[in-house]
Structure 1
């Protein structure tokens, strides 16, 4: 894997750290929830559902896990981390698309675009490399 690909792995980790850290605790999630709902209202894209305890719990679980995953990719970026992260982004993109199809706030479109972009950027080089080896 090229140094360029490892830079993509690190860039996706920085994005994850910055975007998901606010979801990692109930207190920071409350602030993020208010901010995202206000942005959705202002842009006419809809608000988040009320921050009930179970929704907050799942937001905190996702935020905590993604923060740890991001730190791993920042401190020890390996090619395999890009593959796993790319696969996770495909899954995240699927569930975001499902939520959008079922009436979730349009704010998800921005997150979906980033998931697809980082997923493709991390999965494409290894796939192209395997195809080149198979052709030789």
Structure 2
């Protein structure tokens, strides 16, 4: 179970992960470079599955995905609300489903790395957050000794 502060950091951490992993998807040029790197890695490691060349519409979809995910990431970095973490968990489970579908239909095994991270971030953001009680949000008065007054006669 997360505390509110821990959960906010978790939401920010998942957002930073998204921004770092997805920023290359934002433009056709950066995605083309990333695609070349991933293709080379897949071939060098002789991984099963394919990473086909991208046509203009594929590139458009990759760029739209990158743009939206990066904007969503910046929002969560700047304002890591609990509700954003919950929505992000749902989105990650959806992404995971489509990644598993792609893998089942011959996508490059490199996708497994991303699938593991999507599931991990989704699970940890779906875990409960401890709601602070009103008493625990009050300042702690450790060591406080009330002043004893003498009774008046």
TM-score by length of 1: 0.90
Q: Over aligned residues, Cα RMSD in angstroms?
A: 1.4
Query: Which structure shows the bigger proportion of residues in helix conformation?
Result: 1
After superposition, the C-alpha distances for 1:43-101 in whole angstroms (9 at most, x for unaligned) are 22244210210110000000000000000000111000100000000000000000001
2 CA distance for matches of 1:62 and 1:42? 27
1 CA distance for matches of 2:50 and 2:20? 21
Q: Which of these two proteins has the greater Rg computed from alpha carbons?
A: 2
Which one has more relative contact order, counting CA pairs under 8 Å at least 6 apart?
2
Offset at residue 40 of structure 1 (A): 1.0
Check the 8 A contact 1:89/1:115 in 2, yes or no. yes
Segments of structure 1 that go 5 or more residues without pairing to the other structure are: 131-136
Of 24, 31, 34, 1:32 maps to 34
How do residues 35-114 of structure 1 correspond to structure 2 at under 5 angstroms? Answer: 35-45=37-47, 46-114=49-117
2 CA distance for matches of 1:44 and 1:7? 38
Query: Which moved further from structure 2: 65-74 or 44-53?
Result: 44-53
Q: Which aligned runs of 4 or more in structure 1 are off by greater than 4 angstroms?
A: none
2 CA distance for matches of 1:124 and 1:101? 28
Of 9, 13, 21, 1:11 maps to 13
Segments of structure 2 that go 5 or more residues without pairing to the other structure are: 132-153
